[in-house]
């Protein structure tokens, strides 16, 4: 043990005069009585406590002496030199959403704050510390300082975010490590993020213990390509840390959280569960909410939201003398997802080959013929063939039941090497494939739908519709929900730069491209009369699987807890209180 | 606090003296009737004439009717020896004034009834305050003497005081002992001495609420006001309660001792006006008819 202020030990020399003062203090007052002989009678009956009474003053003096020594030692500021290495510290507090988890009435984040405070209180005057927070990115809150008050105030100002921890944020520390040489980086975290095990230069101090929780980690809602275009498909994925399977109800609401459209019972096993695909008929577009009914230790992942969009119809151009294609496209989409246009189409459907001078980059070619960059060789028609589907889960094929369907008008054709063959004939001829050439993307449908009346089957208009939608690229449209902490895609961000953004807490901020969606809920972007609604939710498996990560503390011993000086002071107060009780007993009986 | 020589105080004493009537023995003619027959003015009885009787007492009317010589007997009116033994030890310090008032009242009544009054102070020795006195003219000297008497001595030794009292050869009379009876040693022997010497004895215990209630708490060094002896004690609520109980037990013991010996006993608290106490005590204590 070393004393930072050894001069304070000189105060111990006051012990003897203080002891003398003590005996003067405890000297009893003298009172005259005419009834001493009766008092003697009273005290003859209480002989048993005489021994204690005799040594009571000494016991009291011993307590006061110990209290005085404790105070002097506290003033001398003792510390244990060998415990921590006493290097400068970089204290990083995890501010991710999982830190909001409640454990025994307080959140894991509050526990981490308390641990950080204890570490700071034990800093030596010669030690410096940096206070940083990590969430979607890392921020230095208090630069290298030995000012404990400043550091403690920095901790008090910290608040947990509602975003998942971004492991990339730790790169920031690597860049700045040169600024803090000979320092230890301590991360106070619940360990709920990916890549925690690979943090070698950071010592992890794990906070919180395993806690039961279940939540939504994946959510998507899209319009299904059905006949009336009013049904919606919902993708939902949940995770649970309960040791046993639990039953929860998933409520789907539209417009407002209270307007429940449908309730699905779900059985959740421990860990990440298999995703569920649910169908909602006549689903209106707009705001959608999904929530689990069971209250959990982490509440933020119990509810998620999304926007079901009805994008403007895709402009389809048809180059064919046969009007059946226009009829099929029009009746399939009913003007909602596709519309047939004569000028400036976005997707072109043509028979045989693309026209000369075509500048449409998304093409569907039916009954291929002649030379084209979308096939290497196109030969003669082969006999009746049956369909053999290679990729059943492909967006174009997943709604079709064409396996073993007889089909006619198939030509001997060689698909380019970069082609993605989705279906072949039983003889191996490429039947449906997607290929790219000269910046254009095309679906080649190597058959004649007019032969064998294939165009009358329901599969053909669905095939056309899904191929158009795939070519147009649903991926280019905004997703129904963003993860909290993410930014908008660059195209959308650029379009709304300089506009305003209404956040879920009803605050309006100026929108910048680097603006992150930090809160779960709905945002409204506005610029020049154009409005865009987007949704954000946590949807983070590591955060939902709260405190169940196998990450353990990796830190070397660090001076934390209550400082020795404070313990000594508290002990002194306790001793003085005990002595006061004894003294009070002597003074007040 | 009234002085003993104040006119108001004396008026109170005058009121009290009107209440007193008691038949006791004595040698001088006084306002007090006795059981003895003698040369008073009030007829008492007849008795047969014997040789040597005063022939002036023969009732000739009876002789004329019955031819028997009988003489008239008259009630003898005598004075009474009243001894006031007032405790002036230091334990009475807070109760001295009250004790003096009681003594003054009884002494006034005695002198007003032409009784013979003697007042002594008790402590570790006997101290005369009023020599045997007789007559109303001695009232003021008696009051002044009582007023000027202060506590004395270093202890209360009843036995020694009574022995000294007896050695002075006093005739039997009414002994009124005014004390708190907080006596370290034996007090019963002293009472026995007085009873054996045919004194009519009456004990008047003076008490104060402070005697029962101990306000002191904590570590205290108690010093005896009389002997100077000291003792370190720790007084808490339990000890204070036990002390109050012990004082009550002690007072009960004093009362029982008096009752066993046929001694009149009464206790008087300083919180009650002395005249009320005198009225009650004298009425119920048997001193006044």
- Are A275 and A264 in contact by the 8 Å Cβ rule? The answer is no
From the list B90, B184, B233, which residue is nearest A43 (CB)?
B233
Size (chain A), residues: 589
Q: Which pLDDT score, from 0 to 100, does residue B25 have?
A: 39
Instruction: Give B-chain residues touching A53 at CB under 8 angstroms.
Output: 234
Give the pLDDT band (50/70/90) at residue B27: very low
Q: Which pLDDT score, from 0 to 100, does residue A567 have?
A: 85
Q: Does B154 touch chain A (CB under 8 A)?
A: no
For residue A86, count other CB atoms closer than 10 A to its CB.
17
The reply to whether A57 falls in a domain is yes
Number of domains within chain A: 5
- Partnered with residue A350 across adjacent β-strands are A319, A365
By C-alpha distance, which of B271, B280, B276, B258 is closest to B177? Answer: B258
Suggest the residue from A22, A27, A30, A42 to mutate for an interface test with chain B (most B CBs closer than 10 A). A42
The reply to whether A570 falls in a domain is no
Alpha carbons A198 and B81: distance in angstroms, whole number: 118
Q: Which pLDDT score, from 0 to 100, does residue A549 have?
A: 58
User: What is the three-state SS of A22-45?
Assistant: HHHHHCCEEEEECCHHHHHHHHHC
Alpha carbons B124 and A571: distance in angstroms, whole number: 57
Three-state SS for A195?
coil
Alpha carbons A465 and A338: distance in angstroms, whole number: 8
The C-alpha of A28 sits at a distance from chain B's nearest C-alpha, in angstroms, of 5
Residue B1, pLDDT > 60, answer no
A466 with A320, same domain?
Answer: yes
Q: Which pLDDT score, from 0 to 100, does residue A475 have?
A: 45
Whether residues B243 and A30 touch (CB distance < 8 A) is answered with no
List where CATH 3.40.50.410 sits in chain B: 7-21+81-207+266-285
List, in order, residues 6 or more apart from A1 with CB less than 8 Å away: A78, A79, A80, A81
A319 with A466, same domain?
Answer: yes
pLDDT digits (tens, 9 = 90+) for A120-151: 888 877 788 889 999 888 888 888 888 889 99
Whether residues B221 and A28 touch (CB distance < 8 A) is answered with yes
pLDDT digits (tens, 9 = 90+) for B226-259: 778 888 888 888 888 888 888 889 899 999 999 8
Residue B289, pLDDT > 50, answer no
CA B139 vs. chain centroid, Å, equals: 16
The tokens for A274 are 């298999």
Q: Which pLDDT score, from 0 to 100, does residue B288 have?
A: 44
Q: Which pLDDT score, from 0 to 100, does residue B223 have?
A: 85
A327 with A469, same domain?
Answer: yes
Whether residues B229 and A36 touch (CB distance < 8 A) is answered with yes
Q: Does B54 touch chain A (CB under 8 A)?
A: no
Specify the residue for token string 């509440």. Answer: A299
Q: Which pLDDT score, from 0 to 100, does residue A365 have?
A: 93
> Which residues in chain A come in under a pLDDT of 50?
83-84, 475-476
Alpha carbons B230 and B215: distance in angstroms, whole number: 18
Whether residues A39 and B222 touch (CB distance < 8 A) is answered with yes
The reply to whether A564 falls in a domain is no
Task: Determine the residue of chain A that is closest to B237 in CA distance.
Answer: A589
Task: Determine the residue of chain A that is closest to B156 in CA distance.
Answer: A34
Alpha carbons A376 and A572: distance in angstroms, whole number: 93
The C-alpha of A23 sits at a distance from chain B's nearest C-alpha, in angstroms, of 13
Whether residues A39 and B90 touch (CB distance < 8 A) is answered with no
A278 with A134, same domain?
Answer: no
Q: Which pLDDT score, from 0 to 100, does residue A586 have?
A: 66
Residue B280, pLDDT > 80, answer no
The reply to whether A376 falls in a domain is yes
Task: Determine the residue of chain A that is closest to B249 in CA distance.
Answer: A38
Alpha carbon distance, N-terminus to C-terminus of chain B:
30
Suggest the residue from B179, B233, B238 to mutate for an interface test with chain A (most A CBs closer than 10 A). B233
The reply to whether A582 falls in a domain is no
Three-state SS for A299?
coil
- Are A541 and A217 in contact by the 8 Å Cβ rule? The answer is yes
Q: What is the signed CA dihedral for A442, A446, A448, A451, rounded to 10 degrees?
A: -150
- Are A239 and A215 in contact by the 8 Å Cβ rule? The answer is yes
A194 with A222, same domain?
Answer: no
Residue B128, pLDDT > 50, answer yes
A94 with A189, same domain?
Answer: yes
The C-alpha of A46 sits at a distance from chain B's nearest C-alpha, in angstroms, of 9
- CATH number where A137 lies: 3.40.50.410
Task: Determine the residue of chain A that is closest to B230 in CA distance.
Answer: A36
Suggest the residue from B95, B209, B222 to mutate for an interface test with chain A (most A CBs closer than 10 A). B222
> What is the pLDDT of chain B when averaged over all its residues?
81
The reply to whether A569 falls in a domain is no
Whether residues A28 and B218 touch (CB distance < 8 A) is answered with yes
List, in order, residues 6 or more apart from A281 with CB less than 8 Å away: A230, A231
From the list B217, B223, B247, which residue is nearest A30 (CB)?
B223
Whether residues B217 and A588 touch (CB distance < 8 A) is answered with yes
Run of H or E including A584: helix A564-588
From the list A32, A588, A589, which residue is nearest B239 (CB)?
A589
Q: Which pLDDT score, from 0 to 100, does residue B129 have?
A: 92
Whether residues A587 and B218 touch (CB distance < 8 A) is answered with yes
**Which domain, by its residues, includes A470?**
314-476
Of A519, A544, A569, the position where a domain reaches its end is A544
Whether residues B90 and A34 touch (CB distance < 8 A) is answered with yes
Helix boundaries (H) for chain B? 7-17, 60-66, 96-112, 139-148, 158-167, 188-196, 209-212, 237-260, 274-285
Of A80, A105, A129, the position where a domain reaches its end is A80
Q: Which pLDDT score, from 0 to 100, does residue B287 have?
A: 53
Whether residues B235 and A34 touch (CB distance < 8 A) is answered with no
The C-alpha of B153 sits at a distance from chain A's nearest C-alpha, in angstroms, of 13
Q: Which pLDDT score, from 0 to 100, does residue A120 have?
A: 86
Alpha carbons B161 and A163: distance in angstroms, whole number: 102
Q: Is A153 left (phi over 0), alpha (psi -120 to 50) or beta?
A: alpha
Whether residues A29 and B220 touch (CB distance < 8 A) is answered with yes
Whether residues A28 and B91 touch (CB distance < 8 A) is answered with no
Alpha carbons B145 and B140: distance in angstroms, whole number: 8
DSSP H helix total and E strand total for chain B = 9, 10
Whether residues B230 and A31 touch (CB distance < 8 A) is answered with no
Q: Is B186 left (phi over 0), alpha (psi -120 to 50) or beta?
A: beta
Alpha carbons A449 and A288: distance in angstroms, whole number: 40
The reply to whether A557 falls in a domain is no
A465 with A382, same domain?
Answer: yes
Q: What is the mean pLDDT of residues B84-100?
A: 89
Whether residues A33 and B93 touch (CB distance < 8 A) is answered with no
> Among residues 167-186 of chain B, which lie with CB inside 8 Å of chain A?
180, 182, 184
Reported ipTM? 0.73
A219 with A115, same domain?
Answer: no
A188 with A161, same domain?
Answer: yes
Specify the DSSP class assigned to residue A514: T
Candidate ranges A484-488, B46-50, B84-88; pick with highest mean pLDDT: B84-88
Instruction: Give A-chain residues touching B232 at CB under 8 angstroms.
Output: 28
**Helices B274-285 and B7-17 sit at what angle, rounded to 10 degrees?**
20
CA B71 vs. chain centroid, Å, equals: 38
By C-alpha distance, which of B202, B242, B240, B200 is closest to B220? Answer: B240
- Say which residue, A370 or B36, is predicted with more confidence: A370
Give the pLDDT band (50/70/90) at residue B83: very high
pLDDT digits (tens, 9 = 90+) for A528-573: 888 888 999 998 888 888 755 567 777 776 766 667 778 888 999 9
By C-alpha distance, which of A567, A483, A559 is closest to A517? Answer: A483
Whether residues A30 and B184 touch (CB distance < 8 A) is answered with no
Pairs of CB atoms within 8 A across A/B: 91
Task: Determine the residue of chain A that is closest to B247 in CA distance.
Answer: A38
Q: Which pLDDT score, from 0 to 100, does residue A543 have?
A: 85
The reply to whether A549 falls in a domain is no
Whether residues B239 and A42 touch (CB distance < 8 A) is answered with yes
The C-alpha of A565 sits at a distance from chain B's nearest C-alpha, in angstroms, of 35
- Are A91 and A63 in contact by the 8 Å Cβ rule? The answer is no
A132 with A205, same domain?
Answer: yes
Alpha carbons A518 and A486: distance in angstroms, whole number: 8
Q: Which pLDDT score, from 0 to 100, does residue A486 have?
A: 86
Whether residues A35 and B247 touch (CB distance < 8 A) is answered with yes
Whether residues B216 and A30 touch (CB distance < 8 A) is answered with no
Q: Does B216 touch chain A (CB under 8 A)?
A: yes
Instruction: Give B-chain residues touching A40 at CB under 8 angstroms.
Output: 231
Alpha carbons A504 and A138: distance in angstroms, whole number: 24
The tokens for A218 are 């994946």
A139 with A6, same domain?
Answer: no
Whether residues A588 and B91 touch (CB distance < 8 A) is answered with no
Q: Which pLDDT score, from 0 to 100, does residue A176 have?
A: 64
The C-alpha of B209 sits at a distance from chain A's nearest C-alpha, in angstroms, of 13
pLDDT digits (tens, 9 = 90+) for B250-260: 899 999 999 88
Residue A388, phi then psi, degrees to nearest 5: -125, 105
Alpha carbons A454 and A410: distance in angstroms, whole number: 12
Instruction: Give A-chain residues touching B216 at CB under 8 angstroms.
Output: 31
Size (chain B), residues: 289
Of A56, A80, A104, the position where a domain reaches its end is A80
CA A268 vs. chain centroid, Å, equals: 20
A420 with A455, same domain?
Answer: yes
Suggest the residue from A23, A26, A36, A60 to mutate for an interface test with chain B (most B CBs closer than 10 A). A36
CATH 3.40.50.720, applies to B7-21+81-207+266-285: no
Q: Which pLDDT score, from 0 to 100, does residue B30 have?
A: 46
Run of H or E including A145: strand A138-145
């Amino acid at each position: 043990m070393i004393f930072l202020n050894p001069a304070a030990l000189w105060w111990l020399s006051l012990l003897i005069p203080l002891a003398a003062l003590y005996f003067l203090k405890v000297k009893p007052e003298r009172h005259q009585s005419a009834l001493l002989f009766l008092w003697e009678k009273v005290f003859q009956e209480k002989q048993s406590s005489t021994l204690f009474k005799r040594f009571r003053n000494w016991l009291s003096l011993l307590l006061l002496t110990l209290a005085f020594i404790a105070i002097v030692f506290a003033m001398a500021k003792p510390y244990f030199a060998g415990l921590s290495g006493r290097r400068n510290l970089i204290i990083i507090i995890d501010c991710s959403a999982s830190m909001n988890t409640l454990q025994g009435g307080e959140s894991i984040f509050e526990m981490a704050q308390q641990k950080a405070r204890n570490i700071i209180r034990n800093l030596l005057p010669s030690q410096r510390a940096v206070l940083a927070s990590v969430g979607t990115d890392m921020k230095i809150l208090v630069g290298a300082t030995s000012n404990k008050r400043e550091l403690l105030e920095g901790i008090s100002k910290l608040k947990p975010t509602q975003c998942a921890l971004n492991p990339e944020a730790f790169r920031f520390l690597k860049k700045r490590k040169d600024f803090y040489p000979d320092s230890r980086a301590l991360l106070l975290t619940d360990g709920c993020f990916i890549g925690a095990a690979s943090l070698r230069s950071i010592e992890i101090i794990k906070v919180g213990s395993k806690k039961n929780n279940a939540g939504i980690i994946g959510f998507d809602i899209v319009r299904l390509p059905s006949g009336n275009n009013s049904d919606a498909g919902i993708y939902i994925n949940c995770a649970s840390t309960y040791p046993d399977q639990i039953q929860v109800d998933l409520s789907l609401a539209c417009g407002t959280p209270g307007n429940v459209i449908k309730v699905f019972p779900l059985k959740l096993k421990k860990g990440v569960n298999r995703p569920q695909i649910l169908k909602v008929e006549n689903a209106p577009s707009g705001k959608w909410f999904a929530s689990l009914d069971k209250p959990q230790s982490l509440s933020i992942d119990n509810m998620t939201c999304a926007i079901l969009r009805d994008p403007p119809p895709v402009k389809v151009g048809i180059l064919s003398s046969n009007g059946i294609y226009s009829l099929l496209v029009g009746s399939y989409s009913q003007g909602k997802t596709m519309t047939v246009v004569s000028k400036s189409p976005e997707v072109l459907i043509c028979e045989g080959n693309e026209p000369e001078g075509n500048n449409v980059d998304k093409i569907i070619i039916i009954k291929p013929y002649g030379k084209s960059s979308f096939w290497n060789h196109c030969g003669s028609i082969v006999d009746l063939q049956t369909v053999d589907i290679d990729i059943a889960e492909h967006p174009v094929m997943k709604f079709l039941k064409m396996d073993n369907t007889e089909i006619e008008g198939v030509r001997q054709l060689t698909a380019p090497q970069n082609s993605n063959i989705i279906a072949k004939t039983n003889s191996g001829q490429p039947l449906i494939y997607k290929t790219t050439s000269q910046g254009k993307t095309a679906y080649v449908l190597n058959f004649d739908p007019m032969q064998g009346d294939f165009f009358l089957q329901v599969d053909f208009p669905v095939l056309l519709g899904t191929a158009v939608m795939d070519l147009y690229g649903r991926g280019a449209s905004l997703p129904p929900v963003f993860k909290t902490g993410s930014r908008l895609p660059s195209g959308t961000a650029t379009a709304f730069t300089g506009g305003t953004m209404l956040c879920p807490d009803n605050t309006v901020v100026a929108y910048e491209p680097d603006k992150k969606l930090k809160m779960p809920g709905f945002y409204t972007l506005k610029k020049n009369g154009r409005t865009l609604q987007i949704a954000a939710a946590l949807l983070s498996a590591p955060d939902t699987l709260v405190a169940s990560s196998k990450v353990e503390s990796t830190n070397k011993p660090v001076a934390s807890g209550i400082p020795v000086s404070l313990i000594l002071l508290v002990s002194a107060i306790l001793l003085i209180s005990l002595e006061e009780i004894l003294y009070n007993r002597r003074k007040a009986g | 606090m009234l002085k003993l020589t104040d006119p108001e105080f004396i008026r109170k004493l005058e009121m009290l003296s009107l209440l007193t009537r008691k038949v006791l023995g004595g040698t001088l003619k006084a306002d007090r009737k006795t059981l003895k027959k003698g040369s008073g003015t009030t007829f008492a009885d007849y008795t047969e004439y014997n040789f040597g009787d005063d022939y002036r007492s023969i009732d000739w009317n009876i002789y004329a009717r019955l031819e028997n010589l009988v003489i008239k007997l008259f009630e003898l009116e005598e004075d009474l020896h009243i001894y006031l033994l007032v405790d002036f030890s230091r334990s009475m310090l807070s109760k001295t004034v009250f004790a003096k008032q009681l003594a003054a009242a009884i002494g006034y009544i005695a002198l007003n009834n032409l009784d013979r009054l003697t007042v002594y102070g008790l402590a570790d020795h006997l101290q005369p305050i009023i020599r045997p006195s007789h007559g109303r003219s001695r009232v003021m000297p008696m009051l002044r003497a009582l007023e000027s008497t202060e506590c004395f001595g270093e202890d209360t030794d009843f036995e020694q005081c009574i022995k000294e009292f007896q050695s002075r050869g006093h005739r039997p009379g009414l002994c009124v002992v005014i004390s708190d009876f907080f006596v370290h040693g034996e007090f019963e022997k002293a009472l026995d001495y007085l009873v054996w010497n045919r004194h009519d004895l009456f004990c008047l215990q003076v008490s104060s609420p402070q005697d029962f209630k101990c306000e002191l708490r904590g570590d205290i060094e108690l010093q005896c006001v009389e002997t100077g002896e000291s003792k370190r004690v720790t007084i808490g609520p339990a000890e204070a309660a036990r002390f109050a109980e012990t004082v009550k037990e002690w007072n009960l013991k004093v009362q029982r001792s008096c009752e066993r010996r046929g001694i009149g006993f009464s206790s008087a608290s300083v919180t009650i006006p002395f005249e009320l106490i005198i009225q009650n005590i004298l009425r119920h204590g048997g001193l006044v008819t």
